Structure 1
């Protein structure tokens, strides 16, 4: 655990949240060992911390490394695993090997999640572990278009936060009780969530989105997405940060950087960042990313992507 970590139930949590955390930890303790699908986001970090408390060295965190995971997120996962004091593994695979994923239909997250969790089970089996856990919380099932949750159910993944009725705000409170640095970390969906439904997911598009978002991070923004509409970059900034995005120096830097990456047009969405703006029906974004929760924030309809193409000819 972090050197400053405080045990859950020490009075820093309300009695109801502390009881739920104890229930989740108790359920984990009943297992011979667990492998936690671990993104380093707040949901999977709390599951990992509870598992480490419950099982000690019989708990392991595992991060799936692929083209859809930003390098910065992998670095964060390693750092957070170190804070928790849990054994951490990474496994490599490529969603781009699956033509169903590449086609980017409304079930893209289902295809991704099935592959990703399959790798988790392979790793667990190598370690003699029967149980794979994820960070699905009690708020997730009601949050719009979430096909990745179907894969979680089909593969019989154990979701201790969901089973204990722990909602997102309670997850953050438990993370704070453990003194985890990600207690207030915004949700981060995988890079494929930036590509509208019907537009193929390619390594080129994933790479330029990752590099485009890196410049926003370097300018100190916290809530943002760069949506790739096949040559048009739609930059979303959190409403409380949107005014800073109107700084001419920032606008010039972003335009230069993104056009260098291959975008023909760079636009700022004046509605600001909101989850699921490219998902079917505009719904859904996970509480965590693909390793620890549902996997992506969905994608926009093909018609929407086509409209942008007509409005901004290439």
Structure 2
């Protein structure tokens, strides 16, 4: 028996004692593990719910559909718009709080409609100590249950459990919502979100695994993982990405030689991978 086994069993027993569960589900590894545990524990009384909005890339929504099918859990999709909130659009240091409050509000409403007694999210035991995470305040205020956190399951252990459930997302990198690519203080708009999503789709087509396209009010700053920097300097890619991103409305296209790093346009202590949980994982 490994050290994760008692934690896994305790989390599953915890969920089994609930009167129905709705899992805030993005299709990332954290929420996928919670969904798998909930489905294992409750069967048809467990539901995965994904909140669709302008900040969720279409590719991530498709991933969520696919992983829910993999798990075998019922999957509901609800639509809303963070852009209806002036506080969110303003994009201050608490943007994630406003976003998460709205997203989890959609989960709570879905739970009421389905007669489920508990809403769960994918906050894990490493998250509270990982820098500026205002989204966690929303979890506490709305009394959302975080089984991974409650049973001290770390990110490494989450991936181990995902392997046990044979989930395809076991090694999936964290994926923050699109608004995390816009520097704090610069308004979040639909146009900016759309061009970021299209720009990142291009990098995905070129086979990059860990990347971001930051939108500095018309200047695109591309970040890729350090071990992928050499490929990003390929002349064919450089010419293609410059032309394509210019067509999307970016005035300048740059490559950040520091490589990919979380929170590089957010408050200094913020780890943008927190948004993985706020959008369901």
1:185-239 deviations in Å (ceiling 9; x for gaps): 0000000000001100000000000000000000000000000000100000000
Once residues 66 and 172 of structure 2 are traced to their aligned partners in structure 1, the CA distance between those partners, rounded to angstroms, is 14
Once residues 176 and 252 of structure 1 are traced to their aligned partners in structure 2, the CA distance between those partners, rounded to angstroms, is 39
Query: Which of 233, 238, 246 is the aligned partner of 1:259?
Result: 246
Q: Give the Å deviation of 1:291.
A: 2.3
The answer to whether structure 1 residue 44 and structure 2 residue 24 are counterparts is no
Aligned ranges for residues 177-188 of structure 1 at < 5 Å?
Answer: 177-188=164-175
1:271-300 deviations in Å (ceiling 9; x for gaps): 00011111111531225253224xxxxxxx
Once residues 227 and 140 of structure 2 are traced to their aligned partners in structure 1, the CA distance between those partners, rounded to angstroms, is 36
4+ aligned runs moved over 3 Å, structure 1: none
Once residues 25 and 130 of structure 1 are traced to their aligned partners in structure 2, the CA distance between those partners, rounded to angstroms, is 16
2:30 and 2:277 in contact (8 A); partners too:
no
Secondary structure in structure 2 of the residue aligned to 1:81: helix
**Alignment partner, residue 26 of structure 1:** 13
TM-score, with structure 1 as normaliser: 0.88
Unaligned runs of 5+ in 2: none
The size of the alignment, in residue pairs, is: 280
Once residues 53 and 210 of structure 1 are traced to their aligned partners in structure 2, the CA distance between those partners, rounded to angstroms, is 34
TM-score, with structure 2 as normaliser: 0.98
The answer to whether structure 1 residue 148 and structure 2 residue 147 are counterparts is no
Query: Which of 254, 263, 268 is the aligned partner of 1:281?
Result: 268
**Alignment partner, residue 65 of structure 2:** 78
Unaligned runs of 5+ in 1: 1-13, 294-314
After superposition, the CA RMSD in angstroms is 0.9
1:64 and 1:116 in contact (8 A); partners too:
yes
Aligned ranges for residues 58-97 of structure 1 at < 5 Å?
Answer: 58-97=45-84
Once residues 269 and 259 of structure 2 are traced to their aligned partners in structure 1, the CA distance between those partners, rounded to angstroms, is 14
Once residues 164 and 275 of structure 1 are traced to their aligned partners in structure 2, the CA distance between those partners, rounded to angstroms, is 26
Once residues 268 and 234 of structure 1 are traced to their aligned partners in structure 2, the CA distance between those partners, rounded to angstroms, is 6
